[in-house]
Amino acid sequence: MRTSRRQFLKVSAAAALFPMPAIAQGAGPRVVVIGGGFAGATAARFMKSGNSAATVTLVEASPTFTACPFSNTVLAGMRPLTDQQFGYDKIAASGVTVVIQPATAVDAQGKSVTLGNGTRLPYDRLIMAPGIDLRWDGLPGYDEKAAEVMPHAWKASEQTALLRKQLESMQDGGTVAIVAPANPFRCPPGPYERASLIAHYLKASKPKSKLLILDAKDAFSKQRLFQNAWKELYPNLEWVSLSQGGKVTSVDPAAKTLKTDFSEHKVDVANVIPPQRAGAIAQQAGVADRTGWCPIDASTFESKLVPNIHVIGDAAIMGGMPKSAFSANAQAKFCATAVTAMLAGQKPAEPRLINTCYSLIAPDYGITVAGVYKPTDGVLADVQGAGGVSPIDAPKSNRELEAQFAEGWFKTITGEVFG
């Protein structure tokens, strides 16, 4: 069954206006997906395309998705925020029932999801892909109010626009600090790509300014590639590691200061990326453990804590696989086939998953890390000898090509998920 745009809007409006006991469902299996980001939107589409008899309902809190990949280019003034934004019309047109409402509760025993307006959605299998939430208790002084002064911009949209505005308003000669969290967190190379692109902007527009990365780690993704490039391109960028005293222990938004165990930094623009955990609905559903993340069976992505619920994307503990949009999309496709097999009483095939993370160091300077993963001893582990990083001594033409591949990847994945 195909759903027209008008029908889709009707579904959304009905869900918004009338608290109902349950939305009527067809005869096939009922699959509900929570979260319409890279993981959830992909899973819903694949679930429906491989299983036309199933009723697939995608529950998403916001009518517009703002993608994080490439949002660092918005901070550098390379593209507008609107290029990061996508709607759900095409997903609705593919036969998925899209409901724009927050999921507020999961009744794992009764197998239903309750929405913000009171609607209840029964399911046979639930796929949860709520992404991350920021731990507002994770860094003393940093809460939602502080984020209005010291943006995290780790969920894109208003926060990205705010950080861009602050960078634009800063005087030449100012200091920008990026506070990078300990592992695990969304997009391991993200803070360093961000530092590179902000440094690119400062070099061109405010060359007397400084950029400081205050880090709670001693090592990070694609480190040698980033550091070599910084030496060559951005002499005003300084990385302070954990063992050099880089770990920020508290922040004071009113004074614009960042405290470490050894010093206090007064800065003009502070981009604080705090510790994270799985989206709040995962905690409510009982699929997150004490780490704040969701343990899963590496072969099916079914929760280790609650049956009939699968968790994919950033919210899940995926072993060696990084929290990236590329990973989320790959996990979603496999999860959809596993759920289809399980609903038919079959054993799913074992997954082999690929991740590739591109990072831009400048508009014409791209680098990559790639990996292949399979279940090993109960977790998704690296397949030894597969994948790797860009060559350390590649010519400029390679870096230019990788920057183009990055752009191509973003167009392809967003086209596949939302187009």
Task: In angstroms, give the least distance from the CB of 208 to ligand FAD.
Answer: 26
Q: Which of 3, 30, 32, 35 binds ligand FAD (CB under 6 A)?
A: 35
> With binding defined as CB under 6 A, does residue 313 bind ligand FAD?
yes
Q: Which of 3, 32, 40, 351 binds ligand FAD (CB under 6 A)?
A: 40
Alpha helices per DSSP H over 188-272: 190-205, 223-233
The tokens 């469902």 sit on which residue? 25
> With binding defined as CB under 6 A, does residue 71 bind ligand FAD?
yes
Distances from the Cα of 384 to the Cαs of 322, 348, 361, 371, 387, in angstroms?
16, 24, 27, 9, 8
> With binding defined as CB under 6 A, does residue 369 bind ligand FAD?
no
Task: In angstroms, give the least distance from the CB of 62 to ligand FAD.
Answer: 5
Binding part of the chain for ligand FAD, among 34-42, 88-96, 142-150, 363-371 by CB under 6 A, reads 34-42
Closest residue to ligand FAD: CB criterion: 37
Contacts of 112 (CB under 8 A, 6+ apart): 22, 106, 120, 121, 122, 123
Task: In angstroms, give the least distance from the CB of 171 to ligand FAD.
Answer: 25
Q: Which of 28, 50, 102, 184 binds ligand FAD (CB under 6 A)?
A: 102
- Given a contact cutoff of 8 angstroms between Cβ atoms, the answer to whether 306 and 131 are in contact is no
Rule CB under 6 A: which of 141-180 touch ligand FAD? 154
CA 234 to chain CA mean position, Å: 27
Task: In angstroms, give the least distance from the CB of 312 to ligand FAD.
Answer: 7
Task: In angstroms, give the least distance from the CB of 243 to ligand FAD.
Answer: 25
Amino acid at site 388: G
Rule CB under 6 A: which of 200-239 touch ligand FAD? none
Alpha helices per DSSP H over 237-347: 280-285, 325-343
What beta strand segments (E) does 244-389 contain? Answer: 248-252, 257-260, 264-266, 269-272, 276-278, 294-295, 309-311, 316-317, 353-362, 365-376, 379-382, 388-389
Q: Which of 68, 76, 176, 258 binds ligand FAD (CB under 6 A)?
A: 68
> With binding defined as CB under 6 A, does residue 33 bind ligand FAD?
no
Task: Report the residue number, 131 or 141, with the smaller CB distance to ligand FAD.
Answer: 131
Task: Report the residue number, 12 or 324, with the smaller CB distance to ligand FAD.
Answer: 324
Q: Per-residue contact track with ligand FAD, 110 to 129, x per CB under 6 A?
A: -------------------x
Binding part of the chain for ligand FAD, among 232-240, 293-301, 310-318, 346-354 by CB under 6 A, reads 310-318
- Given a contact cutoff of 8 angstroms between Cβ atoms, the answer to whether 297 and 306 are in contact is no
> With binding defined as CB under 6 A, does residue 269 bind ligand FAD?
no
Task: In angstroms, give the least distance from the CB of 288 to ligand FAD.
Answer: 12
Task: Report the residue number, 178 or 252, with the smaller CB distance to ligand FAD.
Answer: 178
SS3 317: strand
Task: In angstroms, give the least distance from the CB of 332 to ligand FAD.
Answer: 8
Structure tokens at 10: 């009707």
> With binding defined as CB under 6 A, does residue 62 bind ligand FAD?
yes
Contacts of 211 (CB under 8 A, 6+ apart): 175, 176, 177, 178, 195, 198, 199, 202, 234, 236, 237, 238
Task: In angstroms, give the least distance from the CB of 384 to ligand FAD.
Answer: 22
Task: Report the residue number, 60 or 402, with the smaller CB distance to ligand FAD.
Answer: 60
Residue 33, strand partner residues: 58, 127
Structure tokens at 258: 């960042």
- Given a contact cutoff of 8 angstroms between Cβ atoms, the answer to whether 244 and 151 are in contact is no
Binding part of the chain for ligand FAD, among 13-21, 30-38, 287-295, 393-401 by CB under 6 A, reads 30-38
d(CA 281, CA 289): 13
- Given a contact cutoff of 8 angstroms between Cβ atoms, the answer to whether 311 and 338 are in contact is no
Task: Report the residue number, 121 or 214, with the smaller CB distance to ligand FAD.
Answer: 121
Phi and psi dihedrals of 194, rounded to 5? -60, -45
Structure tokens at 358: 């591109």
Phi and psi dihedrals of 160, rounded to 5? -65, -45
Task: Report the residue number, 43 or 214, with the smaller CB distance to ligand FAD.
Answer: 43
> With binding defined as CB under 6 A, does residue 11 bind ligand FAD?
no
Which residues of this chain interact with ligand FAD, rule CB under 6 A?
34-40, 59-62, 65, 68-69, 71-72, 102-103, 129-131, 154, 186-187, 190, 194, 279, 281, 313-315, 323-326, 328, 357-358
